[in-house]
């Protein structure tokens, strides 16, 4: 049994060797014979044994190095722990020393702490003022040292120098002095088209900047000066040019008292629409219609006033003449009486009444149109106002009522038509009154003269 088992093992080992040799033969060159195959197997086992031995030697060396490194790391850890203990002791001692020094610092600082508090507050206010002041357009970078000064006064390790405190006082005084001066200097002005131009700038205290007869806007970011795209009306610009050209004396110029706080008054004045803008843009279609009706009423009124004044003059001249002249209504009425000298009283009365009736349409022409225009113009203005209010409320429905300026602007535009309606109606009413009075005077003269002629004819009969 043992022999059989041994044989089987040998067979298995031989089979394994053969299979290994076969694999190696496939991976490398194929063996030509069994002897060559055995040599190849032997060489492979020898190479593997040498490699394993080399790895064992390397592992042994590294194991020794690891022990050395571990010993070195343990020594370093112990040294650092001792160093940490020393540093903790030193830190504790230094904390006590720092606390003692801080108390000593506070005791020696004394009333200077209160002084530094006031200086800090003053420096902060001055820094805020200088950052937006128009004077910084002429003297930029004045407040850069203030931040460092504030940090020093709030620090426990640094103190401000006497020169820095004196400079704070100097800048405070210079700001007050320059606020009352009108000076000129050369600076870079940004034009509305984006171009930069070096030109003379006049600074009126801390209120306004002027250049070449125009108002400038100061941009604190970068100390820039920009020419306003929209300027005030011509009177202000003329005064600005006069100030820039003046060398001495008093010159009247428009100033914005809110200039040091942003120039809100000048902005509101500039953004306010002119009468031309209100006339051409805010009235809308209804506004144009009102203006057309008003122009028609004024033309008719002027025509009737001129005509009736001429007629009145001719009638007055006819009253002084004994001969009838057909160039005026009274002359034509008198001509009708002269053409019927032998008519009875009733016939003459009818003839004169007919002549007066013929003259009345020409004399009263245009009165009805003027009366209608005077009544219709306010109604058209009311129509435009109601239409504008509807649009305003629609805008409020869409965008909300969070911005009162939008609501005020819409309501203002809506009321423009009412204003135009009244501006048309009032003069037209006055013109109608004048024209109607002149027409009634002429008709009254005609009726009076007709009644006188009829009475004379009745007396003769």
pTM over 0.75: no
Tell me the C-alpha distance between 325 and 233, whole Å: 57
Predicted local distance difference test score (pLDDT) of residue 406: 62
Domain ranges of the chain: 282-460
- Would you state the pLDDT for residue 407? 65
pLDDT tens sequence for the chain (461 residues)? 434 444 444 444 444 444 444 444 444 445 566 777 677 666 666 567 777 778 777 777 777 677 778 888 888 999 999 999 999 989 988 888 888 877 776 676 666 777 778 888 889 999 888 888 888 888 888 888 888 888 888 877 777 888 888 899 899 899 999 988 888 899 999 998 888 999 999 998 888 888 988 888 888 888 889 888 888 877 888 888 888 888 877 888 888 888 776 677 777 777 766 667 666 667 778 888 898 999 999 999 999 999 999 998 888 888 888 788 888 888 888 888 888 777 777 888 888 888 888 888 888 888 999 999 999 999 998 888 888 888 777 777 776 666 666 666 667 777 888 888 999 999 999 999 999 999 999 899 888 888 888 888 787 76
pLDDT at 6: 42
Three-class SS string for the chain? CHHHHHHHHHHHHHHHHHHHHHHHHHHCCCCCCHHHHHHHHHHHHHHHHHHHHHHHHHHHHHHHHHHHHHHHHHHHHHHHHHHHHHHHHHHHHHHHHHHHHHHHHHHHHCCHHHHHHHHHHHHHHHHHHHHHCHHHHCCCCCCHHHHHHHHHHHCCCCCCCHHHHHHHHHHHHHHHHHCCCEEEEEEEEECCCCCEEEEEEEEECCCEEEECCEEEEEECCCCEEEECCCCCCHHHHHHHHHHHHCCCCCCCCCCCCCHHHCCHHHHHHHHCCCHHHHHHHHCHHHHHHHHHHHHHHHHHHHHHHHHHHHHHHHHHHHHCCCCCCCCCHHHHHHHHHHCCCCCCHHHHHHHHHHHHHHHHHHHHCCHHHHHHHHHHHHHHHHHHHHHHHHHHHHHHHHHCCCCHHHHHHHHHHHHHHHHHHHHHHHHHHHHHHHHHHHHHHHHHHHHHHHHHHHHHHHHHC
> Of the candidates 258, 276, 275, 280, which has an alpha carbon nearest to the alpha carbon of residue 267?
258
Give CA–CA dist 188/138, Å, rounded. Answer: 10
């Amino acid at each position: 049994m043992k022999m059989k088992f041994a044989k089987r093992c040998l067979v298995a080992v031989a089979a394994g060797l053969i299979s290994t040799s076969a694999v190696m033969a496939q991976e490398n060159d194929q063996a030509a014979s069994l002897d060559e195959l055995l040599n190849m197997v032997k060489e492979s086992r020898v190479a593997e044994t040498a490699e394993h031995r080399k790895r064992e030697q390397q592992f042994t060396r590294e194991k020794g190095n690891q022990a050395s490194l571990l010993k070195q790391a343990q020594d370093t850890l112990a040294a650092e722990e001792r160093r940490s203990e020393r540093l903790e002791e030193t830190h504790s001692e230094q904390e006590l020393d720092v606390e003692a020094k801080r108390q000593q610092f506070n005791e020696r600082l004394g009333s200077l702490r209160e002084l530094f508090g006031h200086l800090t507050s003053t420096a902060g206010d001055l820094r805020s003022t200088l950052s937006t002041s128009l004077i910084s357009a002429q003297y930029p970078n004045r407040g850069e040292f203030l931040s460092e000064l504030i940090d020093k006064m709030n620090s426990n390790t640094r103190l401000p120098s006497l020169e820095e405190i004196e400079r704070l006082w100097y800048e405070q005084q210079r700001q007050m002095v320059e606020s009352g001066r009108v000076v000129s200097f050369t600076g870079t002005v940004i034009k509305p088209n984006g171009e930069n131009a070096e030109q003379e700038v006049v600074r009126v205290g801390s209120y306004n900047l002027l250049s070449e007869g125009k108002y400038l806007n100061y941009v604190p970011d970068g100390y820039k000066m920009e020419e306003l795209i929209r300027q005030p009306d011509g009177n202000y610009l003329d005064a600005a040019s006069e100030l820039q050209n003046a060398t001495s004396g008093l010159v009247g110029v428009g100033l914005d008292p809110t200039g040091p706080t942003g120039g809100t008054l000048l902005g509101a004045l500039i953004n306010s629409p002119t009468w031309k803008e209100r006339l051409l843009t805010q009235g809308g279609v209804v506004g144009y219609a009102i203006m057309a009706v008003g122009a028609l009423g004024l033309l008719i009124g002027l025509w009737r006033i001129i005509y009736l004044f001429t007629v009145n003059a001719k009638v007055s001249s006819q009253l002084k003449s004994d001969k009838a002249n057909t160039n005026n209504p009274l002359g034509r009425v008198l001509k009708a009486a002269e053409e019927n000298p032998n008519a009875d009283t009733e016939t003459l009365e009818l003839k004169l009444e007919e002549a007066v009736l013929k003259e009345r349409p020409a004399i009263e022409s245009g009165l009805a149109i003027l009366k209608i225009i005077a009544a219709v113009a306010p109604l058209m203005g009311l129509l435009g106002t109601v239409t504008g209010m509807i649009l305003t409320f629609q805008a409020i429905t869409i965008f909300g009522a969070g911005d009162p300026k939008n609501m005020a602007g819409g309501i203002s535009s809506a009321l423009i038509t009412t204003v135009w309606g009244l501006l048309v109606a009032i003069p037209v009413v006055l013109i109608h009154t004048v024209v109607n009075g002149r027409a009634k005077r002429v008709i009254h003269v005609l009726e009076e003269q007709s009644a006188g002629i009829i009475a004379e004819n009745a007396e003769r009969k």
